[in-house]
Amino acid sequence: MHIHILGICGTFMGGLASLAKASGYRVTGCDTNVYPPMSTQLESIGIELIEGFDKKQTELKPDLYVIGNVISRGNPLMEEIMNQDLAYISGPQWLYEAILIDKWVLAVAGTHGKTTTSSMLAWILEFNGYAPGFLIGGVPLNFDGSARLPQKNKSNEVSPFFVIEADEYDTAFFDKRSKFVHYHPKTAILNNLEYDHADIFPDLQAIETQFHHMVRMVPGIGRVIINDEEESLKRVIDRGCWSEKVYIGSKQGLSIGKVNQDQSFEVLNLGKLIGAISWDLLGHHNRMNALAAIAASHHVGVTFENAIEALQTFKNVKRRMECIGEKNGITIYDDFAHHPAAIATTLAGLRAKAGRARIIAVLEPRSNTMKLGTMKDQLPQSLKDADQVFCYGEKLGWNAEETLAPIKDKSFVGLEMKNFIEAILKEAKSGDHILVMSNGSFDGIHQALLKKLA
């Protein structure tokens, strides 16, 4: 069977394409951004890529078009597909029908930490011989790629387990439900829930409704893992839950005990010590991610002790407090943080590591929510742990200097990349930690800083 994927170079659709190819489909695809690393990754496994959305692509005559959520009405190829009454389906629906339908799906939902928690969970299962399939919105360093089919497990049988990062963003222009509604999980993690995606959700309650739709899809023999620190998730569960409930972050379930200076910490179950995790991941948020992954893996049979042992060897994900390099005593990190809450927790984690050393926060407000300015008033407080702040203010619908006025004594707003980089270099000195935060490439600023520091 031949499928043609519209919007193939996004992380989710690229992973979907890899799964389809590994399942024996002929896969082609198109996008406006056909460039490395996704283009080379897909082409290396034999997937033909086409730049743009020319309607002549219908001459490929695939059996089915798989539509990514970046595609909208007016797209010339999509219009031709509809005019010719050709078969098409959304990416999440295809994924369920072709890959997930007979699997034990472990879905990781939350405003923050989905990629990291999914990677932790997949690694716990892999470490303990469960050989899961997975589709993760990033590159987990314990694996070779962001997606794979289930493998043969320790019993030499193909694993029934599949870990998926469960995104609340909408499915497609013709299906405005959240993606995760399609996945039918048996194990569901509700890691946290804050207002985000202001381009499609009017308020937090609208997102809570989508989360509850996913809870409704979990069977009675399933498990819903709930962060007990989140009032929003309590409201979701109060709407009804028909599955086993397991809590993290309180004495009702798994919780965090003593946290040491080296970031190692105790893990408690019902208030009793069950083990300790020693690693180099920073911050309370990552400790909560670990609890969620442990609870989910326990549902499929992994003991708490074996899950904790696996996390000792967890290598995190690219672009999650990833150390890019060190030059002249200055360390540069890359992080995906773009929501004020994520910015605050990321900075708090680095502060715990850096102690009294200076932290220079370099921020690109690039997400749709941040560009709209919905969360802009939260930025000054979210940056409190930074000693200096550099904000790239190009293409914003709001004035970054006005927004950062409460911290104007330690902030700089740049509108042109060359001058922006020079301003950072002028401020940086030996012993500093430069934390670059963006959900995009940020014009390669990390490597540019390293090169000029050298």
For the chain, give every domain's residue range.
2-90, 102-311, 322-453
> Does residue 226 contact residue 291 with C-beta atoms inside 8 Å?
no
Helix 284-299, helix 304-311: angle, nearest 10: 140
Burial 199-225 (b: 16+ CB within 10 A, else e): ebbeeeeebbebbbbbbebbeeebbbb
- Closest-CA residue to 392 (of 369, 361, 426): 361
Q: Output the pLDDT for position 92.
A: 97
CA 128 to chain CA mean position, Å: 24
For Cα atoms 384, 139, 441, give the angle at the middle one, nearest 5 degrees: 55
Pairing state of beta strands 330-335 and 2-6? unpaired
pLDDT at 36: 67
- The closest alpha carbon to 366, from 329, 342, 400, 392, belongs to 392
Stated pTM of the model: 0.79
pLDDT for 176 equals 92
CATH number for the region 102-311 comes to: 3.40.1190.10
At the topology level of CATH, where does 2-90 sit? Rossmann fold (3.40.50)
Residue 229 CA to residue 298 CA, distance in Å, equals 21
Q: Rounded distance, CA 379 to CA 370, Å?
A: 10
Q: What is the pLDDT along the chain (454 residues), one digit of tens a residue?
A: 999 999 998 889 999 999 999 999 999 999 997 766 677 888 889 999 999 999 999 999 999 999 999 999 999 999 999 999 999 999 999 999 999 999 999 999 998 888 899 999 999 999 999 999 999 987 788 888 889 999 999 889 999 999 999 988 899 999 999 999 999 999 999 998 887 767 778 888 999 999 999 999 999 999 999 999 989 999 999 999 999 999 999 988 999 999 887 778 999 999 999 999 988 787 888 899 999 999 999 999 999 999 999 999 998 766 677 777 888 888 998 887 777 878 887 888 888 777 888 999 999 887 777 777 777 888 888 898 899 999 887 777 788 888 888 888 888 888 888 888 888 888 888 999 999 988 777 878 888 888 877 7
Amino acid at 60: L
Is 2-90's fold the same as 322-453's?
no
Q: Structurally, what CATH architecture does the domain formed by 322-453 represent?
A: Alpha-Beta Complex (3.90)
